[in-house]
Structures are given as C-alpha cells and as structure tokens.
C-alpha cells in the first residue's frame, strides 16, 4: 500500500509511545515528526505545515484533568485553524474527549490503542481534513471569482434626479427577498442595477448567475435552466445542474424575459411557484432557494393585453418594479460616466490618462444615445484607441447627426411650450405610423402619459 502524502506531528511525554507510534506510522505516512515537550509546539508549527497533530491530553504536570491538553489544543488552532487535531487520552474519559471535539478537535483516540485502530483513525481524520480544506479553498475561489466577475459592474454611476430615485429604490428593496423587475432600454445598465441589488442583499456572499434568455433557444431552455440527467438526449454524457441549481442560495438574473415564448413562460412560472426544478430526463424534484431579478426592454403590460405574455407570470416576477431611465433623460450623468470609461480604457490600453475638451463634452451631452450607456462606453473606448492626443476633441467621436438633441420651435404665433410639445408628439407618432408604444418609448414617457397628451391636444 502506498504511503499517505501527509505530514503528521505527535506530541506525547511518553517516549516509548512516541517511538512505537513513529516506527509503525512511518510505514504508512510520508512524514512523521514526534516531540515529548508541548512547549515546542509553536516553534514546530512555525517551521512546518502539518496536516494532523496527535496530541496527548495529559502531561506529567497534570496527569488526569486534561487541562494542559485543552490549553495546547487551543494554542494549535490559534496558530493554524485549518489543522486537524486528534486527542489522545489514557484514561478512557469519553466526556473529556467530547469536550475536546466541542473545542475544535477533529477526533479522539484512547490509549492503549492497537495499530489498526490508530491507522484507521488517522486515515479517516486526514480524509475529513482534506475535504474541509478543499471546501474552504473552493469557497475562497468562488468568492474571488464572484468578486472578479462583478468588477465591470461594481459601480452604479449616477447623480441625476432619475438615477437618485432608482438608487433609493435599490437601497429599500435590496435587503428583502422580493422579486424585482427592471424595465429599461437596451444598454441602459439593467445588469448593473441587478448586481447592485445582489451586493446589497443578504445573499451577497453567494453566487450571482446571469442568464440571457434572449440567447437561449427553445430546445435548450429546459436543459440550460433546469439541468439534465445523463442520457436525457444524445449529447448528455453526464448529469449536469441547470442555472437555477447553480444559483441556489444566491441570486438569479433573468435578462430579456420578454423574449420567452408562452410555453416557456409556463415552465418558468411552474418553477417560480413551486421553488423546485426537475432535470430533463428525471422525475426527481430538486428544491431551489434563489432571489429572482428579471429585466426586459419590452412592453410587458402591452404584451399581456395582446395575449403574448402571461399575466400571472408578470405578477410573479414584479413584486417591485424599477424603471431605469435612458441616458438621454439623465444628461447630468454623462460627465462622470465618460470619466469612468476614460480611466478604464486608458489603463487597459496603457495610455496616459485622457480627458475631454469642453466642446467635446457639450457635443456628447447633445447626443441622444439611442444605444444608451453601452453606446457611450464603446464610443469612449474607440476614441481612446484612435486619438493621438491626450485631450479628446469632438472629431474623435463618430456620432450620428441624426441622433443629436435639437429643439424645433414652430414658426408662427404659437411660440410656447404646449405648441412645441404638441408638434413633437404629432411628429413622433407619424414617424412610427401611429404605433403608440414605439412613440412613447422614443419620447421617454409611458403609454398612459402619451394617451393623456393625445387626448389633451386632440391629436
């Protein structure tokens, strides 16, 4: 039998015990060190990284109470909390051993022992210890990966009134487990808000799983979200958990939920109601405990009216709604966003920190940003790469004149706000062929608000 690749330290004031144990254990364990003086423990642990310590509970100064053994047990765990400790007592005092387990020991052993019992106890303890270390290592890696994956979304940048209202809502609802629906245009930062909710929640130390439902085909929906058993379909070579299982105890973010077909909506609703998933190819129900955050850029309420989205699913996912404003409605946030992206891309491409000319900032603030923050981010990245100057000019940004903010004042006698609004609404409605939802979206108002204005101006 091959030796265990482990390091073992035995502390006992009986030299005969130390010699006998070492002679036997060296046949089975790669490294075995012994010492009869417990006062040497701090030095020994400083010089070597041991997997397990066999510690006598009673030394010559205190032969029966175990107090000295408890002192050194606590000292060992203070120096190295990950180390496994097996307590040795010669008196068969089970209560003493149980107390030792409560104080952090991994196992205990009674003297006199037979060699098979000694080896079995050490082997079992090392296996448990190795599993514990691997679990701690896995958790540390998971935490690191979560933090690293969260970095691009680590800051919610906004000082405008609409964004301050959003952040106020985030602060109120994050600590609850309420289901959240984030509504906003493409590129407006819905995932940033979802991650901010997760970071401020009671689940912040657990995983955040983001799922783009718009990128998952009908045929892959169940296997991706709910998992599958080996043999469930041709390429199912092994059991695999779905996104919901992966997100257990954490947060699952379902982006573009408006893209789901009605059959898939029904399957999702069933999982949300029962809080259980069934892997493809199985009948076993697996409980899942997740915080649900959904997002879409689609008009879900109109889709409900049109029979394209289940009303009961909408009620299930939107305990609280967060309406994320488009960038054109939060112009005050453009300067800090630009500075944020300038810093990121100057570092990324190892360039001197670049800044904007005053005229450039005015040009950026006039742009309507139909692609929202994502468009701004790409525009800044391109300008950082292509410009030879450290001061970015308007010409460094390739922005469409068609998407420039311009105020058209009607000619004639009606130079007033209502006339301007009436003209703008008529122009946008005509542009979209009478489609109220698209017109409201471009105007940055709700359908209900647009209907009120249509009635007001008799359009």
According to the model, what pLDDT value does residue 153 have? 47
According to the model, what pLDDT value does residue 228 have? 92
Q: What is the pLDDT of residues 292-322, one digit of tens each?
A: 999 999 999 999 999 999 999 999 999 999 9
Spatial contact of 332 and 378, defined as CB atoms under 8 Å apart: no
Domains assigned to the chain: 4-136 (3.40.50.2300), 173-323 (3.40.50.300), 327-403 (1.10.8.60), 417-457 (1.10.10)
Cβ burial, residue 455 (10 Å; 0-12/13-18/19+): exposed
Which one is predicted more confidently, 82 or 408?
82
Spatial contact of 236 and 229, defined as CB atoms under 8 Å apart: yes
Most confident by average pLDDT, 73-77, 139-143, 371-375 = 371-375
Average pLDDT rounded to a whole number, residues 9-33: 91
Spatial contact of 356 and 392, defined as CB atoms under 8 Å apart: yes
The residues pairing with 292 across neighbouring beta strands, listed in sequence order, are 252
According to the model, what pLDDT value does residue 371 have? 93
Confidence at 147, pLDDT banded by 50, 70, 90: low
According to the model, what pLDDT value does residue 291 have? 97
Provide φ and ψ at 214, rounded to 5°.
-70, -15
Confidence at 187, pLDDT banded by 50, 70, 90: very high
Spatial contact of 213 and 257, defined as CB atoms under 8 Å apart: yes
* pLDDT at position 92 over 70: no
According to the model, what pLDDT value does residue 412 have? 44
Which one is predicted more confidently, 428 or 375?
375
Confidence at 151, pLDDT banded by 50, 70, 90: low
As a whole number of Å, the CA-based R_g of the chain is 33
Entry pTM: 0.61
Confidence at 133, pLDDT banded by 50, 70, 90: confident
Confidence at 112, pLDDT banded by 50, 70, 90: confident
* pLDDT at position 108 over 70: yes
Average pLDDT rounded to a whole number, residues 204-228: 92
According to the model, what pLDDT value does residue 315 have? 95
* pLDDT at position 414 over 50: no
In the chain, pLDDT over 70 holds for what percent of residues?
Answer: 89
According to the model, what pLDDT value does residue 459 have? 74
According to the model, what pLDDT value does residue 410 have? 42
Q: What is the pLDDT of residues 341-365, one digit of tens each?
A: 999 999 999 999 999 999 999 999 9
d(CA 427, CA 453): 13
Among 172-176, 228-232, 313-317, name the one with the lowest average pLDDT.
228-232
Confidence at 413, pLDDT banded by 50, 70, 90: very low
Contacts of residue 235, defined as CB under 8 A and 6 or more positions apart, other chains included, come to: none
Average pLDDT rounded to a whole number, residues 391-403: 85
Average pLDDT of the chain is 86
* pLDDT at position 1 over 50: yes
* pLDDT at position 68 over 70: yes
Q: Measured between alpha carbons, how far is residue 315 from residues 269, 309, 318, 445 in Å?
A: 10, 11, 6, 22
Tell me which residue has tokens 């037979």. 114
Among 14-23, 263-272, 329-338, name the one with the lowest average pLDDT.
14-23
Average pLDDT rounded to a whole number, residues 149-158: 65
CA dihedral (232, 289, 261, 149) positive or negative: negative
Spell out the SS3 assignment of the chain: CCCEEEEEEEECCCHHHHHHHHHHHCCCEEEEEEECCHHHHHHHHHHCCCCEEEEECCECCECCCCHHHHHHHHHHHHHCCCCEEEEEECCCCHHHHHHHHHCCCCEEEECCCCHHHHHHHHHHHHHHHHHHHHHHHHHHHHHHHHHHHHHHHCCCCCCCHHHHHHHHHHHHHHCCCCCEEEECCCCCCHHHHHHHHHHCCCCCCCCEEEEEHHHCCHHHHHHHHHEECCCCCCCCCCCEECHHHHCCCCEEEEECHHHCCHHHHHHHHHHHHHCEEECECCCCEEECCCEEEEEECCCHHHHHHCCCCCHHHHHHHCCEEEECCCHHHCHHHHHHHHHHHHHHHHHHCCCCCCEECHHHHHHHHHECCCCHHHHHHHHHHHHHHHCCCCEECHHHCCCCHHHECCCCCCCCCCCCHHHHHHHHHHHHHHHCCCCHHHHHHHHCCCHHHHHHHHHHHCC
* pLDDT at position 397 over 90: yes
* pLDDT at position 269 over 70: yes
Which one is predicted more confidently, 335 or 67?
335
According to the model, what pLDDT value does residue 409 have? 41
According to the model, what pLDDT value does residue 65 have? 57
Cβ burial, residue 299 (10 Å; 0-12/13-18/19+): buried
């Amino acid at each position: 039998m091959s030796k265990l690749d482990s390091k073992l330290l035995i502390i006992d004031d009986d030299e005969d015990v130390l010699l006998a144990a070492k002679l036997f254990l060296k046949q089975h364990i790669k490294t075995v060190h012994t010492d009869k003086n417990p006062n040497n423990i701090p030095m020994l642990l400083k010089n070597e990284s041991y997997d397990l310590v066999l510690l006598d509970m009673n030394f010559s100064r205190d032969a029966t109470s175990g107090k000295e053994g408890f002192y050194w047990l606590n000292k060992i765990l203070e120096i190295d909390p990950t180390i496994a400790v097996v307590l040795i007592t010669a008196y068969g005092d089970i209560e003493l051993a149980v107390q030792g387990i409560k104080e952090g020991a991994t196992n205990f052993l009674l003297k006199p022992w037979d060699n098979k019992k000694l080896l079995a106890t050490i082997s079992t303890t090392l296996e448990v210890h190795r599993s514990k270390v691997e679990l701690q290592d896995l958790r540390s890696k998971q935490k690191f990966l979560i933090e690293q994956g969260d970095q691009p979304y680590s800051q919610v940048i906004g000082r405008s009134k609409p964004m301050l209202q959003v952040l106020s809502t985030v602060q109120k609802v994050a600590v609850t487990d309420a289901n959240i629906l984030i509504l906003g245009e493409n590129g407006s930062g819905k995932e940033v808000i979802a991650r901010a909710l997760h970071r401020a929640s009671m689940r912040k130390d657990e995983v955040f799983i983001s799922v783009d439902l718009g990128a998952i085909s009908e045929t892959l929906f169940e296997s991706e979200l709910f998992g599958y058993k080996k043999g469930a379909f041709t390429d199912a070579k092994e059991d695999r958990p779905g996104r919901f299982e992966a997100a257990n105890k954490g947060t699952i973010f379902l982006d573009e939920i408006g893209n789901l077909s009605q059959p898939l909506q029904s399957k999702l609703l069933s999982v949300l109601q029962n809080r259980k998933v069934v892997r493809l190819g199985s009948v076993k129900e697996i409980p899942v405990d997740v915080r649900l955050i959904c997002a879409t850029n689609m008009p879900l309420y109109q889709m409900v009216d049109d029979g394209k989205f289940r009303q009961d699913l909408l009620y299930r996912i939107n305990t609280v709604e967060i309406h994320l404003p488009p960038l054109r409605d939060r112009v005050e946030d453009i300067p800090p966003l630009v500075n944020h992206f300038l810093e990121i891309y100057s570092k990324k491409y190892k360039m001197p920190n670049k800044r904007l000319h005053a005229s450039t900032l005015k040009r950026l603030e006039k742009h309507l940003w139909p692609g929202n923050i994502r468009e701004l981010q790409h525009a800044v990245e391109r300008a950082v790469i292509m410009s030879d100057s450290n001061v970015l000019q308007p010409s460094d940004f390739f922005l469409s004149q068609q998407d420039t903010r311009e105020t058209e004042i009607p000619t004639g006698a009606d130079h007033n706000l209502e006339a301007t609004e009436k003209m703008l609404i008529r122009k946008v409605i005509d542009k979209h062929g009478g489609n109220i939802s698209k017109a409201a979206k471009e105007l940055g108002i709700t359908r209900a608000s647009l209907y009120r204005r249509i009635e007001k101006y008799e359009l």
